[in-house]
Copies of this chain bind each other. A is one copy, B any other.
Amino acid sequence: MKTYGFDASLPAKPVKNIGVVLFPSFDVVDVFGTLEPLNLLSLERQLNLYMIAATLDPVSTAPRAMNAFNSSFGEVIVPSHTFDSVIRDQSLDLDMLLVPGGIGTRAPDLNDTIQFVRDVFPRLQYLLAPCTGAGIAARAGVLDGRRATTNKRSWEETVAYGTKTYWVARARWARDGCVFTASGVTAAIDAVFAWIGHVWGEAVAADLALGIEYERHTDPSWDPFGEHYGRSDVPPLT
């Protein structure tokens, strides 16, 4: 993937194969809010989905720590591919990779996930990293020299991962070339619609939004949450 700096006027690349990174305690709206319009779009054109995790063992959203109330509450997702199998199969063109956020981004053992994002990034046409998924992307180094945003509640801990990134404090989502980041959780839905509009055109995005009865935020600078939390831009340290 080329680095396009601050140029947001790139022509769209064709997209057929979409990958999703899964790790324990990922956020479900980051993944399924993003996939919802793509599930529908897959009925109208050929799209293939790769659900990619460290192993083929099912991945749970249940938090492994932070369970002071003894809840038994989590959803379990089955991966279709492993990080290793995708890295080894150089013939697999992943046109877009979704890197979700979630409580699991705070786990100490995310190194395999971060390494996968770092290794596969040069083969991508697009990266979408909503919410604290931007923290994984930052730790993988792929936000270096780019403009990005992230979850406004988890702002400080996440922007600390990307000291070479310009972090935009008032943004529903941010695009820098082929890299889309988004603010917290439901901002992923607005970001994926912006991306769909870029790749397949605004009419396709508008029809999909109508189909899921969603009132989009189409202004990337709409962000009452950045304001609520009093966040300010964080320029690169270096």
Query: A residues within 8 Å of B by Cβ?
Result: 18, 27-29, 31-33, 35-36, 38-39, 42-49, 51, 58, 61, 63, 66-78, 80, 151-153, 183-187, 189, 210-215, 217, 224-225, 228
Contact = CB atoms under 8 A, between A and B. Distances in A.
Q: Determine chain A's interface SS by DSSP, over half rule.
A: loop
B186 A29 contact: no
A189 to B, nearest CB: 7
A226 to B, nearest CB: 9
A46 B69 contact: yes
Given A28-B39, A33-B29, A213-B152, A77 B74 contact: no
A192 to B, nearest CB: 12
Given A77-B75, A77-B78, A215-B224, A46 B70 contact: yes
Given A42-B69, A46-B70, A51-B75, 7 more contacts: A32-B75, A36-B185, A43-B69, A45-B69, A47-B69, A77-B77, A215-B217
Given A153-B211, A185-B214, A213-B225, A49 B35 contact: no
B186 A211 contact: no
A186 B210 contact: no
Nearest to A68: B43
Contacts of A42: 69, 71, 73
